[in-house]
């Protein structure tokens, strides 16, 4: 039996479009500038028949339907 370990990492900028209303911003006209980029980051680890995916998101929350969509995509 081979004891193969694999790892992968990726990230993407997920800034909202300018003008988009944002939770907690309390600003007329929504997001007007980008102060710091927002990221989603993923770490994938695999060894033998075990796989782990860890996601980190610079976001306030996800709605339930979005979480279900993510689960289905990961399951595929």
- d(C-alpha 58, C-alpha 5), whole Å: 28
pTM for the structure as a whole: 0.69
> Is residue 42 packed enough to be buried (19+ CB in 10 Å), middle (13-18) or exposed (0-12)?
middle
Question: What total number of domains does the chain contain?
Answer: 1
| CA 48 from centre of chain | 26
Residue with tokens 């595929």: 76
Residue 26 has pLDDT above 70, yes or no: no
73 versus 22: the higher-pLDDT residue is 73
Tokens of 9: 């990492």
31 versus 18: the higher-pLDDT residue is 18
Which range of residues forms the domain containing residue 62?
A: 5-75
């Amino acid at each position: 039996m081979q004891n193969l370990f694999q790892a992968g990492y990726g990230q993407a900028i997920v800034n909202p479009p300018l003008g988009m209303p944002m939770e907690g911003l309390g600003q007329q006209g929504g997001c007007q500038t980008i102060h710091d980029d927002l990221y989603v980051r993923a770490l994938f680890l695999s060894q033998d028949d075990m796989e782990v995916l860890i996601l980190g998101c610079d976001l306030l929350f996800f709605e339930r339907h979005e979480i279900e969509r993510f689960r289905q995509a990961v399951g595929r």
